[in-house]
Structure 1
Amino acid sequence: MKTWNRTALTLCLSLAAMSSFADAFDSSTEAMLKKSQETKSGLQFYVDGQTIGAYVLDVQPDVIIVANREFSRIVIKKSSIDAVAGNP
């Protein structure tokens, strides 16, 4: 029984650690977001099967605020982003 409890505890801690990193981006993605914000250069955001072309206005802990020619403000949840593409 104690082995089962340890295994369950280990599994729960592993899942909790993974979920805390789920919304984090790697350093190259963070650099692309920062460059887009500084230079107003466009990026492609792939969000739940859709593509949004925009530049970054602000990066917050849970969301990225972007804009494009059509909309002056678009709020994208970080957890919804599948990929980000742009020139380095």
Structure 2
Amino acid sequence: MPEFDEAFRVITDDEAFARSALTAEVAPFLSAQPQAAQDVPIRLVGGELLTWRRGRLSPRDFDERLGHLCDVLERIPPQVWSTV
């Protein structure tokens, strides 16, 4: 998906896991929010979905980041996590 490839960089040691997680539902969802690629970076490590930010995080920022992570997590098929 060109929009996804332009906005995101995927680095992986497990290509099968990355392809399983970045489904036809996940990639378009992320691509529809290109600013999120910069504002809310995400990383899948083992069985965890992570984000980070430098500096203080206000309650509103925390809520927005948590909501974004939940939206991503809901789109990753549950069986993907059993492969890690």
- Structure 1 and Structure 2 fold alike (TM over 0.5): no
- TM-score normalized by structure 1? 0.27
Structure with the higher fraction of residues in strand conformation: 1
Structure with the higher fraction of residues in helix conformation: 2
- TM-score normalized by structure 2? 0.28
Asked which structure has the greater RCO (Cα within 8 Å, sep 6+), the reply is 2
